[in-house]
Structure 1
């Protein structure tokens, strides 16, 4: 903890809070949005278009008619796009999402969608002459944040398409080859400018509302970039620039090298605090996926000794130690058709597969976002959340019902009993290993952990009645924040005991609630 404390000295004046500052106003309403467990869905093909999700906007696109640039260069692009932005996701959709118990949305955007806030983001890019086409996107993005807050939904803004294109897919903005990592580095440099423009305008917009909006839960720097040796340094440079504007969580892609980037975050904790690792999990694209029956896919997610649960457990622990967390930013119920050959009941097998994923994410992750909310053509139970819910593949509701949070005169007694029991077990264990301990720190941590758990539980009262119970999800950074403040007040002796007690208090409160 001493190394972390020193790293945060002399950071200068930063808007919003620092997660390791001794800020008497912590936690703020924005913290309850940002640190809670995010149970969310992607609003795919709203701004960054994907033809397999919705075909309509591509009808007058320029060949090969697969990307945003193709649509923008086609006929009637401005009218087509604005009509799509105004109809693809509406207020009724936000209401439906909240009614399912989901508490957040991930919104993929391209850098060109920001030109209505600052046209300079287009300079020197493939979209340089297309300001007129995309000028109206920014007002729709900010309106989405307003609507989301109305329904208690957090918003993760995801830069899905960066200047130069960071991956080979059409959802990178163009149908061409990726040039993000070109040797002249101009696209990497410009993307940092894009991100700072985005964050600055987000903050200005949210703070200018009455009351101010508090539901932007984070910013994802790049969606699924190609694994490249230049990426590690770029992440650090980008986060350093963004930290001068805000200390919200910044999400980075693991490029499907999850252990590698868990180690990366762990080793750069002081340089990139509150940086969240985003992993995407699909089981339908590779030959191995297709050769694996759905029952085996499900078993591979539920067997604690299988590779995927082992990886999640390993990575989640390492990230929590670093004051970070693991989020599955994209996942689905989609399967290769060959995985379903011979399945006795298609719906039940799909349901078991989705249930296994949800259980895995609930156990190890600070959040997850299903891909995707809906498709233009109904019936896809693997990719469309709405269709999956209707078919019974995805549960009708996630999370704990709000009704479990109620006044309880015996809660304080149960807290004391749980603390005493945990303290006794803690003391008995460490009595085996002679040393200098201060078990009162464990007791203090336990009480604070229990009370902070209830801080989240009770915040359901400020959200729409359809909301499920908010829970602390980003345990790593929250515990580091509390331990840092406790250390400043009580000294650094046995801080590890405080942290251990804090986690035990969180767990005990959640078990008591359920």
Structure 2
């Protein structure tokens, strides 16, 4: 990290904690926009949480390995702690140097980057006592991945790009896949109290204080990746509730992202029932290349069914599509007649036209770059370059105040003679507040208001505190929603 960046970080690290906790007002400043806009983003797969199919350098050094823990352990045996740390640092540096920030901002028009990390990276491995990665803690203390996380955040801020910090790997695993850092089958994190305690009492609070509060361009903190399906999910609910409480005590406005466990409705119901819509965003991964059901369909059928199969209860909670790609299984292609490139383009375009309408926190493509080649249908850069993704517009459209006035007049006219008393001024207050908010978001690279459930609930709460509750708050509700529908496009 350069001296300039080190000094910049030092001065940026003001203690915002008191200010954030005490202020529920939604001032449309840069921090608020980064946390609440609709995101068009990409994942940095295998930057920190190593996956051999994306970046295989460390795995090749030791002749393989099924997970980061296994590869690092083998590397220690062969090269020692310092030699392994050197190789990790070389990987972090070469990966970061390869990122084309101008492409991301100017060609891909992204707003955000999702950065998968493991619990073992946090503060350079200082929380590993009693956890599965403890045997290799010395490597991460020397490799200093946490310093590179901060370097990445600082660089992204110069391009008006936010960072979604994704704790991809949990001790004991939220699933039994290699992307948890260590393959544990069955995954045991949620039903291991000491692991949950460590995350909720130490690791997540540290991340919040050390990164999410000081840096204004943090979009949110994801506390789990791809939790396994669980019909009752009582252990998951315990972790999620504790984690949200722990984080919110430090920063009550920070979006906390949870996994949908492959059942979105289960978690939107839970968020709604527990009044957590202010704080929680639900992450749903959309892949059409893994299930037998999708493998038995042709490409055209999968594409045509997307509007029905991507279905979130956005009236109860805010959602994000944290991962998706343009990949379909070879069994699907065997059943498909026609030009593969055309189908891929239609698949990507259809997904990225649906997601911003259903997922108020936006989408993140998997993944940005690879050690070898461009990743093909897994690769963000070739899919953008081939125009297979519907990207956001950066053209700011002015809101015509005459149109606003006409909507208000039409509302009043519609209700004329339909009752003895109304409070139409609440409708007007609401739509004018929506317009003001939309214009505030537009001021930062034509950002759009996201997290519609949370944002509207907070604005509504502010309004009642200012002007009082009423049986006519339905007019405010209609006014604010009409403003979003009309102008937040």
How high is the TM-score relative to the length of structure 2? Answer: 0.87
How many angstroms does 1:186 deviate by?
1.2
How many angstroms does 1:354 deviate by?
0.8
After TM superposition, list the pairs within 5 Å mapping 1:206-355 onto structure 2. Answer: 206=214, 213-226=215-228, 227=230, 228-247=233-252, 248-269=254-275, 273-302=278-307, 306=308, 308-309=309-310, 311-312=311-312, 315-319=313-317, 325-341=318-334, 342-355=336-349
How many angstroms does 1:55 deviate by?
1.5
From the superposition, tell whether residues 130 and 379 of structure 1 become closer, same or farther in structure 2 (CA, over 3 Å).
closer
Distance, in Å, in 1 between the alignment partners of 2:255 and 2:191 is 29
Aligned pair partner of 2:468 in 485, 491, 498: 491
2:220 matches 1:195: no
Distance, in Å, in 1 between the alignment partners of 2:431 and 2:383 is 40
Contact 1:48 1:110 in 2 (8 A): yes
2:365 matches 1:370: yes
Contiguous gaps of at least 5 residues in structure 2: 1-15, 76-82
Distance, in Å, in 2 between the alignment partners of 1:506 and 1:353 is 28
Distance, in Å, in 2 between the alignment partners of 1:438 and 1:481 is 21
Contact 2:174 2:189 in 1 (8 A): yes
| Cα deviation 1:350-399 (Å, max 9, x = unaligned) | 0101111111112111111111112223253321111222344335xx11
2:436 matches 1:440: no
How high is the TM-score relative to the length of structure 1? Answer: 0.83
Contact 1:159 1:220 in 2 (8 A): yes
2:393 matches 1:400: yes
Aligned pair partner of 2:167 in 150, 155, 159: 159
Distance, in Å, in 2 between the alignment partners of 1:412 and 1:22 is 29
Find the residue that maps to 1:50 and give its secondary structure. Answer: coil
How many angstroms does 1:417 deviate by?
2.1
Contact 1:155 1:218 in 2 (8 A): yes
How many angstroms does 1:272 deviate by?
6.5
Contact 1:72 1:78 in 2 (8 A): no
Find the residue that maps to 2:376 and give its secondary structure. Answer: coil
> What is the root-mean-square deviation in Å for CA atoms of aligned residues?
2.3
From the superposition, tell whether residues 62 and 435 of structure 1 become closer, same or farther in structure 2 (CA, over 3 Å).
farther
The more displaced of 349-358 and 121-130 is 121-130
Contact 1:419 1:447 in 2 (8 A): no
The corresponding residue for 2:6 is none
Structure 1 ranges of 4+ moved more than 4 A = none
The corresponding residue for 1:7 is none
Contact 1:457 1:471 in 2 (8 A): yes
Find the residue that maps to 1:196 and give its secondary structure. Answer: helix
How many angstroms does 1:176 deviate by?
3.2
Distance, in Å, in 2 between the alignment partners of 1:380 and 1:134 is 28
Distance, in Å, in 1 between the alignment partners of 2:277 and 2:300 is 40
